[in-house]
Amino acid sequence: MNPRASGARPIDEKAALLREGQGASGARPINDRAALLRYAGLEQVLPLGSRLNARGALEVGGCDVTELAREHGTPAYVYAEDDIRARARAYREAFAARTNRFEIIYASKAAPITAVYRLMADEGLSCDVASGGELHLALAGGFAPDRLYLHGNNKTEAELRYAVERGVGTIVVDSFDEVERLRRLAPGQRVMLRVTPGIKPDTHEKIATGQEDSKFGFGLDDVPRAIAGCEAAGLELCGLHAHIGSQIYELSVLERLAEVLDGMGDYPLLNLGGGLGIAYTPEDRPPSVDEYAEALLSRVPDGVTVLCEPGRSLVGNAGVTIYTVGTVKAIPGVRTYVAVDGGMSDNLRPMLYAARYEAQIADRFGGSDLCTVAGMHCESGDILIRDVELDDPRPGDVLVIPATGAYGHSMANNYNAIPRPPVIFCRDGAARVVVRRETYDDLTLRDA
């Protein structure tokens, strides 16, 4: 089979579909198996251009994921490179259609991968780094330092020094203690002020940040003193920043945020953070990038430059994780556990946020056997998905979980000394490893 005959659409066309919120399901069927994909309801959840090939196996970026599993092993994070590019373009186009005063900043905590930084820089985005480590990766990925925004509620002196030495464009100041630190370390530095606007979005409490009771930023009452502090410290304050939370579907809270920040004074720049939610399951209906841009921009006067900082919505649906089924344990009348060769070490989100995912056997979509997908770690809570329908899962099957492109790799860990999975980029039927799999030797590498 010729993978290039995948009917993949050009990236700009994909960007247009995304901008307007049609996901991957735009009017044209991708191939004759498109009906089955739709049946499984996963078109809007899988990377753009995904399809089932003649063997019935899932292809991501034109690559058959069962072949990737054979060649590279499992678990593995598999991304469709064009999907990431299309989402970056969809953001730029949605804003450009409404204003020329905007900046799209990739919140790189979602997928701090050198190759992803490189791609975002190439697509003309700026970048949010939340630590010295992310700064290091962003620079390795080719970001110009002046396009970087350094965040964090407790940046260390070493991190601030590193940022200043490397010429980071903007530091987002988070506390009075940090104002003091910057006065010593970075006089004249361009900064923005992180404001906690007292807005609580409807999302998991662990990822809500805009409420008054938050470790982040300056509460509204403290903002005037913080502004005076920045001026006295000789910092160049260019605007206000707020990020109220993540995986948000309600646009009204983001509109309110724009109004609150705009009401705080005449600033040329307002950074309204990230937070646009994505679809993890077929039932999820997030707003489109177009609706999001409209909501933010409609509440801000013409002369103001609006910055937004998406993470999840740029990379979340671009990636899937592939695993191999190792054991199937049926407990009659209770449940069937399908155990895979990863789990809470490569995806913490189900355990941390009770996040819901879908799964399929990679070359037998559309089954009806009710299963629970368990990881391989020694905790009962190591469950990736409770109650998902699979087609007669058996040891050796490749299982795919979509929408793991954001906060999967970035929150991966070595629990039970499991080596972390590789990251594989796929495009036009060609796969390249952009982060290799960890080895057992990597596990002893830091022994002193």
Q: Which positions lie near ligand LLP, rule CB under 6 A?
A: 107, 109-110, 128, 151, 207, 243, 246-247, 273-276, 309-313, 349, 353, 407, 411
Minimum CB distance to ligand LLP, residue 278 (Å): 9
Minimum CB distance to ligand LLP, residue 312 (Å): 3
**Residues in a beta bridge with 427:** 430
Distance CA 171, CA 182 (A): 9
Q: Which is nearer to ligand LLP, 132 or 311 (CB)?
A: 311
What is the radius of gyration, based on Cα positions, of the chain? 22
Token readout for 250 is 């309600």
Minimum CB distance to ligand LLP, residue 228 (Å): 24
371 noted as active-site residue:
no
Catalytic residue among 127, 230, 378, 426: 378
**Residues in a beta bridge with 400:** 322, 360
Minimum CB distance to ligand LLP, residue 243 (Å): 4
Q: Which is nearer to ligand LLP, 337 or 353 (CB)?
A: 353
Helix (H) or strand (E) holding 271, with range, is strand 269-271
Beta strands 236-241 and 269-271, pairing class = parallel
Buried b (16+ CB within 10 A) or exposed e, 221-255: ebbeebbebbeebebebbbbbbbbbbbbbebebbb
Distance CA 349, CA 417 (A): 19
Q: How many other C-beta atoms can be found within 10 angstroms of the C-beta atom of residue 202?
A: 13
Q: Which is nearer to ligand LLP, 64 or 309 (CB)?
A: 309
Do 81 and 116 meet the contact criterion of CB atoms below 8 Å apart? no
Minimum CB distance to ligand LLP, residue 389 (Å): 25
Do 67 and 338 meet the contact criterion of CB atoms below 8 Å apart? no
Which one, of 355, 227, 209, 214, lies nearest residue 273 by Cα?
209
- How many Cα atoms sit within 13 Å of 212 on the Cβ side? 4
Buried b (16+ CB within 10 A) or exposed e, 429-448: bebeebbebbeeeeeeeeee
Q: Torsions phi, psi of 117, nearest 5?
A: -55, -45
Q: Which is nearer to ligand LLP, 61 or 274 (CB)?
A: 274
Q: Which is nearer to ligand LLP, 123 or 128 (CB)?
A: 128
Do 268 and 72 meet the contact criterion of CB atoms below 8 Å apart? no
Residue 424, exposed/middle/buried by CB under 10 A (0-12, 13-18, 19+)?
buried
Q: Which is nearer to ligand LLP, 235 or 412 (CB)?
A: 412
Do 120 and 309 meet the contact criterion of CB atoms below 8 Å apart? no
Do 367 and 276 meet the contact criterion of CB atoms below 8 Å apart? no
Token readout for 76 is 């593995």
Minimum CB distance to ligand LLP, residue 296 (Å): 13
Catalytic residues, by residue number, are: 378
